[in-house]
């Protein structure tokens, strides 16, 4: 009868270990699927941010070209050489101001891109299942030794 109880304990421990391992496998598969979906969403978000940034760069460059052309035309119409003296300083100031604004936008874009990155340290449950199996085997071994 004692042998039957020991055999039942071993079978129960084996079933428990199998259940824990199977649950860990299912949990790992589910976590991988969720991570893949999250990765796809992150890639879509980043491509949208990059497209938005490219559009803003084109708009800023177009606005700068128009502003400089308008400024040069007004200066030329008033009889001032648009390439020299204070007129040249004005146009170079516009270019510098646009470059500063672009740098600020680039910094903002880098921050927004790095904001949504998924951590590689997300738990997948494997280690927890292994610990639970170890506890089950320990309990079965203790039961057999008693």
Give the pLDDT mean for 27-47.
Answer: 87
Residue whose structure tokens are 């938005």:
52
> What is the per-residue pLDDT for 110?
84
Render pLDDT for 105-128 as a digit per residue (tens, 0 to 9).
Answer: 888 888 887 876 555 555 555 556
Domain count, the chain: 1
Domain that holds residue 129: 2-145
- Residue 58 is predicted with a pLDDT of 92
- Which tens digit of pLDDT belongs to each residue from 81-90? 777 777 788 8
pLDDT at 123: 52
Question: How does the average pLDDT of the chain come out, rounded?
Answer: 78
Tell whether pTM > 0.85.
no
CB 90 within 8 A of CB 71: yes
């Amino acid at each position: 009868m004692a042998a039957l109880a020991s055999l039942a304990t071993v079978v129960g421990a084996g079933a428990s270990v199998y259940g824990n391992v199977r649950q860990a496998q299912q949990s790992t598969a589910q976590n991988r699927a969720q991570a893949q979906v999250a990765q796809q969403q992150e890639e879509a978000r980043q491509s949208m941010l990059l497209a938005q940034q490219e559009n803003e760069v084109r708009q800023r460059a177009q606005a700068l070209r128009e502003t400089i052309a308008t400024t040069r035309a007004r200066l030329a119409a008033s009889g001032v050489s648009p390439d020299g003296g204070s007129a040249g300083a004005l146009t170079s100031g516009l270019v510098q101001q646009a470059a500063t604004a672009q740098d600020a936008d680039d910094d903002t874009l880098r921050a927004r891109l790095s904001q949504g990155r998924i951590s590689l340290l997300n738990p997948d449950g494997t280690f927890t299942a292994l610990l639970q199996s170890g506890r089950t085997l320990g309990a079965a071994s203790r039961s057999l030794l008693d």
